[in-house]
Amino acid sequence: MESSNAPRQTEALAQQDGHHANAISVLEQDKPAIPVEKVPPEPESPHTFPRKLVLFGVLGIGAIIVAILGIRWWHYIQTHQETEDAYVSGHVNPVTARISGTVTQVLVDDNQTVAPGTVLVKLDPSDYQVSLQQAEAALEATRRQAEVAQTKVGIGSIDAQGQVTTAQGNIDAAAASVATAEAALAEAQSGVPQARSQFAQVEANLVKAQLDYQRYAQLAQEGAVPRQQYDAAKASYDALVAQRNAVREQIRQAEARVAQAQKNLNNVQAKLASSQGGLQQANAASKQTEANQQQYQAALAAIAQSRAQVKNAQLQLNYTSIQAPTAGKIGNKTVEVGQRVQPGQTLLSIVQEQPWIIANFKETQLEKMRPGQEVEIKIDAFPHHLFKGRINSLAPASGAKFALLPPDNATGNFTKIVQRIPVKIVFETESIRGYESRITPGMSVVVAVEIP
């Protein structure tokens, strides 16, 4: 029902609007016409045209200037790569304590300029002076020991050489005596067979002479032979008996000589053995000399060790006076008189007057960058001075890779991030002249690299 009544209501409204419109038109026709007065145009001022000309001229000049600046800006961005992510860097040398000790003097103030070798801090040297004295005393003791060992080496060497010479002479003499005794024994031994051979011959002759004597004695008793033959046979027998006894004595003496020669040989052999034992003792003395020599070498090594300890003690004493390793300005001074410092503790820092710039460019800006290209440098601390420099080198990796916890894009959801690569820029000498001591590490910088 609502849908069928809607068109009818619409048509009725349209008809009513039409009646209203006709009534308005009839009323307008019946209204009397009002005459309109025409206003004459104002005459133009003689100054209007020049003003417009000046305005148009100014606008034209402004457009030209804007166009020129736009062109220059476009040319600049095409030939330069710029970044604000840059800062001044420099050598900041920490001065640390190399030994433990108590600070007795602090000889520099904050921001003071120092030269290399300037004494900065002094520590109490008392303990290290005592250590040096102990080391020097130990060195002197080792030197004395080395002198004693050297003396023993000299005396022992002379004694050993003399003993060896004496023992060798005794051996030579004993060897000669042995040779003589052996020759005497051989001679004595050769006389025994000869005497025995002679004894056998005499025995044989004695048997024959005894038989002749007995036969002549029987014949002489019977009177068959003359007494003279009996006496001759008896004399011959007695002579052979005496000769046999003499030869027997010769054999005994020859055997005695052999025994004596053997005894002499044994004696000289024993003497030779004794001499050889003396040589061994002399060689043992030589070994002792070698041992003394080794002791002397050990004493020399102990001297070297003691010298090293003395040198170390001297170094420790020298370390009580802490000096500036390089020229620069004092900063970050945290040391005070009476403070107990430990090895490796940083006491202050020295900033060298040789600054450079680290500019972190986006990786997309590095396509045409090369070492040696000119760089315009603006330091926030000196906004009215434009510095000049050159690219020294580009970092071998992005800054993220040198972070403590480098990102690992292989895990999780990957989001591509434009990386920044550190670029080292060095100042030109003339550009930085007069500002060396005023430019400090950490200052903010804007750099623009001129690229081809």
The tens digit of pLDDT for each residue in 56-76 reads 778 888 888 888 788 777 766
- Which amino acid is residue 385, in one-letter code? H
Q: Are 325 and 121 in contact (CB under 8 A)?
A: no
What pLDDT does residue 317 have? 94
Number of Cβ within a 10 Å radius of residue 333 = 18
DSSP class of residue 452 equals -
What pLDDT does residue 344 have? 93
Q: Rounded to 5 degrees, what are φ and ψ at 334?
A: -120, 0
Q: For the chain, what is the mean pLDDT?
A: 79
Residues 206-239 have pLDDT tens digits of 677 777 667 767 676 766 667 677 677 777 777 7
Q: Which residues pair with 411 in a beta bridge?
A: none
Residues 43-56 have pLDDT tens digits of 555 555 577 777 77
- How distant, in Å, are the alpha carbons of 2, 11, 12, 142, 267 from that of 16? 21, 9, 6, 137, 177
Number of Cβ within a 10 Å radius of residue 377 = 24
Q: Are 336 and 103 in contact (CB under 8 A)?
A: yes
**Tokens matching residue 52:** 């417009």
32 contact partners, CB below 8 Å, separation of at least 6: none
Q: Are 388 and 374 in contact (CB under 8 A)?
A: yes
DSSP one-letter string for 264-303: HHHHHHHHHHHHHHHHHHHHHHHHHHHHHHHHHHHHHHHH
Of 359, 367, 361, 365, residue with least CA distance to 427: 359
Instruction: Tell me the C-alpha distance between 304 and 300, whole Å.
Output: 6
What pLDDT does residue 115 have? 94
Instruction: Tell me the C-alpha distance between 333 and 350, whole Å.
Output: 9
What pLDDT does residue 318 have? 95
Of 387, 400, 380, residue with least CA distance to 426: 387
Task: Using 70 as the pLDDT threshold, list the residues of the chain that sit under it.
Answer: 1-49, 75-77, 156-164, 167-170, 174, 177-178, 181-182, 184-185, 187-192, 194-195, 198, 206, 212-213, 216, 218, 220, 222-225, 227, 230, 272, 275-289, 411-412
Residue labelled with tokens 């010298």: 307
What does R_g of the chain's alpha carbons equal in angstroms? 67
- Burial class for 59, CB neighbours closer than 10 Å (0-12, 13-18, 19+): exposed
What pLDDT does residue 11 have? 43
Domains of the chain, start order: 79-124+328-450 (2.40.30.170), 127-318 (1.10.287.950)
